[in-house]
Structure 1
Amino acid sequence: MAYVILGLLHLWPQSLYDLVKNFEAGVSLFYSASSGSIKRALDGLLERGAIEADDGDGPRSRKVYRVTAVGRREFHEWMTGPLAGPDAEAAALPRLYFLGLLAEPERGPVLAGILARIDADLARLTDLATQIEGVDVPDELRDVFVFQQATLDYGITSYRHSLEWFRDLAQRHADGSAQR
């Protein structure tokens, strides 16, 4: 979550209220967070010097957060680094959302990293499907197995679609037609 907040703060300085509204308005498409979890992430970012805060002016005097040089460096390293975590989609979509914040030459390698991660995860699922072919399932577990296999099939289909979609985007980016 910290990197998503850093990405949002790259756009403009924001209060906690603004950040919550921005999560609701767009980020929630790929990442959900409560105001309490956003506040805890802000506190952690403040502690390590990735952001700074100023008391705002006006009757509500909301604290306004902005990215520091440390935060810009952390965000850049995260955007251009390997995709971590067990879920490729959860790792890829925040980077896709903020890809326009990177310099043009850095975007292709990020897309290539996303493609490599999706391809590796698809290979893992495909291998699993191959391993369970012809497994002798006891009659009392056959119904359970059918739906577990359907879940695996869904995952494979989803990863194939993601791979195709990201390949198309990477190609459009390489051709210069990804920009609107």
Structure 2
Amino acid sequence: MKTIITLLYILISITVWSQSSYEIPTKDNIPETLKQYRVAIEVVNFPKKNHPIKIKDQYYWKHNTTILCTESEIRITEYGAYLFYNDKWNLRKSYPLKDLAKTFLIEKHKMLQGQPYVWVNNWRVGESLFGGWAMWYFIGETNNGETVCGYGTIDTTDKPLN
């Protein structure tokens, strides 16, 4: 019985994986959730095209993410990451707001006007070598109560530097 269950699990996993298609997202293809808000937060990932480096048995896609609001202070209400596959952005993870203080050094979820915030070691780590597109997103509220957003993409490749 265990053998049958294991084989079914492997077959289902292969089927699901093979049905995923990994394309390059178009500029106007953004998650529906973000389309409803005005962009007021700049999000930049560096480097934009991110090649992995292998250390022991792990691959590291080393990059950083910077966010900035120039027109007013913004209180972040949600942030996280999407992955692009099957011709759409799929939510990978929404992060707890308490993590803003340790990752981006944003105190009390409030971005100050003109102050850049950087998550220096925002790295993807894994044992498997595969590329794909990710998008970091941020949703927040201005001082006058308007809900705004920001997002930035990053291309993680399957071409190791070493």
- Per the normalisation by structure 2, the TM-score is 0.21
Structure number having the greater helix percentage? 1
Structure number having the greater strand percentage? 2
Instruction: Work out which structure has the larger RCO, using CA pairs closer than 8 Å and 6 or more positions apart in sequence.
Output: 2
- Larger C-alpha radius of gyration, 1 or 2? 1
